[in-house]
C-alpha cells in the first residue's frame, strides 16, 4: 500500500511540475497579441519621421535585451517551482517562496514593459500619442469585452 501511495504522490508531483513549467513557458514564450498590435500601430499605422523611427528602434532593441533576461529568469523560476513541488510534494514553504519569486519576476516584467511603452510614447507627437494611447487602452481591455 505504501508503494502505491508513493507512486501516486510522485505522479501528482510530476504532473504539477510539468504543468508549472508548461504554463510558465507559454506565458514567457508566446508573443502577446496585444503587444504585437501596439508594435503594428507604431510601425504601420503611425507615420514616423526618420528620427522617431531611429529612437524607437533603439528603445526596442534595448528593451529586447532586458525582456530576454527577465524571460530567462522566469524560466529559471519555473524550474525552481517544479523542484520545490517535487521536493515538498505539497504546498510547503519552498513552493510558497518559489511562487512568490515567480510573481515578483512577472511583476517586474509588466512594470518594465509599461516603462518601455511610455518611453516610446515620449518620442511621439500629440496626434501620434493619442492614437498610440487608444491602441494601448484597446489592447489592455480586449479580454474584458
Q: What is the CATH number for 96?
A: 1.20.120.1490
Nearest to 83 by CA among 69, 98, 93, 103: 98
Residue 20 lies in domain: 2-30+47-123
Residues whose CB is less than 8 angstroms from the CB of residue 12 and which lie 6 or more positions away in sequence, other chains included: 89
Residues whose CB is less than 8 angstroms from the CB of residue 9 and which lie 6 or more positions away in sequence, other chains included: 89
pLDDT of residue 45: 78
Residues whose CB is less than 8 angstroms from the CB of residue 131 and which lie 6 or more positions away in sequence, other chains included: 41, 45, 46
Q: pTM of this prediction?
A: 0.65
pLDDT tier for residue 19 given thresholds of 50, 70 and 90: low
Instruction: Evaluate whether residue 129 is within a structural domain.
Output: no
Instruction: Evaluate whether residue 38 is within a structural domain.
Output: no
Retrieve residue 86's grid coordinates: 517535487
Instruction: Evaluate whether residue 135 is within a structural domain.
Output: no
Instruction: Evaluate whether residue 66 is within a structural domain.
Output: yes
Instruction: Evaluate whether residue 19 is within a structural domain.
Output: yes
Report the number of distinct structural domains present in the chain.
1
pLDDT of residue 33: 47
23-80: pLDDT as tens digits: 555 555 444 545 556 666 666 778 889 999 999 999 989 999 999 999 999 999 989 9
pLDDT of residue 91: 83
Instruction: Evaluate whether residue 37 is within a structural domain.
Output: no
Instruction: Evaluate whether residue 55 is within a structural domain.
Output: yes
Q: Which ranges of the chain would DSSP assign to H, the alpha helix?
A: 2-29, 33-40, 50-88, 93-121, 126-141
95-136: pLDDT as tens digits: 899 989 999 999 998 899 889 888 988 999 999 888 888 888
142 pLDDT above the threshold of 80:
no
Amino acid at each position: 500500500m505504501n508503494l502505491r501511495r508513493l507512486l501516486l504522490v510522485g505522479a501528482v508531483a510530476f504532473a504539477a511540475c510539468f504543468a508549472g513549467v508548461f504554463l510558465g513557458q507559454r506565458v514567457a514564450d508566446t508573443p502577446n497579441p496585444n503587444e504585437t498590435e501596439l508594435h503594428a500601430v507604431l510601425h504601420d499605422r503611425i507615420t514616423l519621421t526618420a528620427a522617431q523611427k531611429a529612437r524607437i528602434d533603439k528603445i526596442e532593441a534595448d528593451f529586447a535585451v532586458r525582456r530576454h533576461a527577465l524571460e530567462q529568469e522566469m524560466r529559471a523560476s519555473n524550474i525552481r517551482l517544479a523542484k520545490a513541488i517535487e521536493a515538498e510534494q505539497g504546498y510547503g514553504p519552498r513552493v510558497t517562496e518559489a511562487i512568490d519569486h515567480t510573481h515578483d519576476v512577472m511583476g517586474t516584467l509588466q512594470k518594465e514593459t509599461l516603462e518601455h511603452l511610455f518611453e516610446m510614447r515620449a518620442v511621439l507627437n500629440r496626434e501620434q500619442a493619442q492614437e498610440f494611447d487608444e491602441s494601448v487602452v484597446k489592447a489592455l481591455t480586449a479580454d474584458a469585452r
